[in-house]
Amino acid sequence: MLYETLDQQIKNYADWVLRRQRGIPNNRRLFVVACMDERLPVEEALGIDKGDAHIFRNAGGLVTDDVIRSAMLTTNFFGTEEIIIVNHTECGMMSAKTETLVQAMKDKVGNLEQVALDPSLPELTLTDPNAFGRWIKMFDDVDAISEAQVKFLRNHPFIPAHVSIHSYVYEVETGRLRKPHERLAEHVNDARTMIEHAYLA
């Protein structure tokens, strides 16, 4: 009967709107950490839809204090059981040296140790003169940094031990995901090798 269909639609809509109040996790029980880069189509790359995941994007797709805060909430209180980290090739976080950015910001604002990192927590500052550079988190190896993010989350006491954590690298040049250090292009034969293999077959 029509009323049954309509009632189900109304219930589904209410569940969607009130899912936090009702304790309904996202569809995949998934938390994604990804770079904010506009060339990285997170949902398309992972094959997920609206409602499937909590998605956190920042510069580099790196584990920061706010990623820890969000991951702690979603895994402990919102039913999430899996974390996926997506880094990518040609990332802007590999485009400059840390020292260059630190000096540029010193030129703009002066004493970096006095700047509050969170406007609502003015006491949260970087008192160590070298901490600002580490806080920016520039890197030069996307595969190594991708693996490191898994370790940061896996070893954090706020993340339950049962949560599955993995990382991938999105290749901007191919539009595909791969595991860290597994570049297929390095294993593809060139024309000469293909001919040699043909004779050996």
Q: What are phi and psi of 64, to 5 degrees?
A: -115, 180
Q: In DSSP terms, which residues pair with 88 in a beta bridge? A: 170
CATH number of 25-95+139-181: 3.40.1050.10
Q: Give the list of residues 6+ apart from residue 118 with CB closer than 8 angstroms, or none.
A: 124
pLDDT of residue 197: 58
- 62 in Cβ contact with 167 (< 8 Å): no
Helix, strand, coil percentages, rounded to 5, for the chain? 40, 15, 40
Is 88 annotated to bind a ligand? Reply is yes
Tokens of 165: 């954590």
Q: Give the list of residues 6+ apart from residue 194 with CB closer than 8 angstroms, or none.
A: none
Is 35 annotated to bind a ligand? Reply is yes
Cα–Cα nearest to 142, from 188, 184, 183, 99: 183
Q: Where are the domains of the chain?
A: 25-95+139-181, 97-137
Is 54 annotated to bind a ligand? Reply is no
* Digit-coded pLDDT (tens) for 139-198: 999 999 999 999 999 999 999 999 999 999 999 999 999 999 998 888 777 666 555 555
pTM of the model: 0.88
Tokens of 86: 């997506």
* Digit-coded pLDDT (tens) for 3-27: 899 999 999 999 999 999 999 999 9
Order of all β-strands in the sheet with 82-88? 53-58, 30-35, 82-88, 164-171, 176-178
